[in-house]
Amino acid sequence: MNAYELADKLMSSLTMEYDCDKYMEQAATMLRHQADYIKHLEEGLESSIALNKAQVERLAELERKHKEEFDYAEKLLKEQNE
């Protein structure tokens, strides 16, 4: 049973207390499972963001290093041509 079906069952069983109690228990269980799943997705997203940040920092460091090397090579070529 999915969340929509469970909501329909709860709404249709409001007049029958025993059914309502049964569906309330199922709703509570389903909500806990969904909350756990959302938490798992959020943790995965946080890990992905952290990895992306680390990659951006690494790329920036590589870019800075290559610029320094390029500038140095350009300086040497300029001195050689003088």
- Could you report the per-residue pLDDT of 13-70, keeping only the tens digit for each? 766 666 677 778 888 888 889 999 999 999 999 999 999 999 999 999 999 999 999 9
Domain count for the chain:
1
| Dihedral (Cα; 60, 61, 63, 69), 10-degree rounding | 160
Q: 28 and 10 in contact (C-beta within 8 Å)?
A: no
- Which residue range is the domain that position 44 belongs to? 3-81
pTM of the model: 0.60
Q: With 80 as the cut, is the pLDDT of residue 78 above it?
A: yes
